[in-house]
Chains A and B, each alone.
Chain A
């Protein structure tokens, strides 16, 4: 079977199943973390586990959203663009959860310390940057917003996601003591996804 005919056969199946699968991907970790918290299964430092878990899911989903455009290009499945929006918003909500754990559970609204932390510690600064850059992207994710802004400018604006993804990886990397294995893996994935775009830049334009 050729790749093309395989894709043709797989398309309706994937198209039908992908949204439930993505919902599961986005919600299941939250259910698991909350259940672990309630059942006291998060060990001696549950706040750290929630903080790390939410941050990692934000980064995973952000990387997944960056993988959609290359996938669209490889498969020619234009309808994937809706999944890109879904994954981007999911990443934003997980990043929001991550920030909330930091503000509410880690520092319990100790704004003096939080502001000091953001200004003085570069890995926190970079993490905040990653989140703040996602805000305009989440706000302009609707069809109405795209129409209002115009496709070209919308695409330009949404290139901010590259900066956000790089900042998120740096935030992870600078936050660990010595165990850089995981940050390196995430960094490599994000870097490859961005490199693909550079590589294809000269080719026919696809929506980002």
Chain B
């Protein structure tokens, strides 16, 4: 699986945002392609295949954009694509609040613009025991955090999805307590794997996948990946999170992928990779233990599920 750490990424590999946002024109630019500044799907596939015990073939873009859990746009898997088709993500503002030097609203560009764009192909493991392999584009959350200038007392970062039932029809029903909130410990948020995605498959992030800005934490269950983020709040106390609030016995704050701790109602030992027939074994921390396990040393992962 492709995991590129910051020190692996040469400045020559960083895609300028203007180019990235205008991919169609960019693809036509043979010179830029020659620089290899963006990984083609084939290259990603080759990279993902190296050194892996699992067959991490990319999930088809069609599947990844039509099989979604995004209750703000309906509770069936095929609802979000259909019900989000009129959603206009731009212009977008993110309120930065709590323990920061200056709480204030950031425009999308102020928050994300000119940050090094990352190409990351990650396994995505849903708590419902299915999984995908998705090529994301985005920025490292730690770069965004630096722009927010948190105060030394900040220990957690809470992230909130837009609440606007007119634009998000699923919010007219109380399927979950709105707005959707997720949070990370600050060290988790600062981990180089943690991404704020703005695109996937080399295209701007589709509405049904959380446009314009969503969290990607590949070693945690998918529900941690809060979508359409409008608020970042830095705090010293562990924030409440939506699924943990809704069903505390089934969904924990940490939600690290763990094959040896079952969901109370179903096994987490195996998963179905979308597009494949036979189930495959689920890996501890979704296969990212080398990068993240040290953050949980000494923690009872059975208790802090």
Contact = CB atoms under 8 A, between A and B. Distances in A.
Interface of A: 43-45, 47-48, 105, 107-108, 110, 113, 116-117, 120-124, 174-175, 177-179
Contacts of A107: 279
A178 B176 contact: yes
A122 B275 contact: no
Contact of A120 (B175, B176, B267, B277): B267
Interface of B: 62-64, 66-67, 71, 75, 77-78, 127-128, 130, 175-176, 246-247, 262, 265-267, 269-270, 272, 274-275, 277-279
Given A45-B130, A45-B272, A121 B63 contact: no
Given A120-B267, A123-B265, A177-B128, A44 B175 contact: no
A175 B263 CA distance: 12
A121 B77 contact: no
27 contacts: A43-B66, A43-B67, A44-B66, A44-B275, A45-B67, A45-B272, A45-B274, A48-B130, A105-B277, A107-B279, A108-B277, A108-B278, A110-B279, A113-B267, A113-B279, A116-B267, A117-B266, A121-B265, A121-B266, A122-B265, A124-B266, A174-B265, A177-B127, A178-B75, A178-B247, A179-B75, A179-B175
B245 to A, nearest CB: 11
Interface centre among A43, A47, A175, by most B CB within 10 Å?
A43
Nearest to A108: B278
A71 to B, nearest CB: 32
A47 to B, nearest CB: 7
Contacts of A116: 267
Nearest to A117: B267
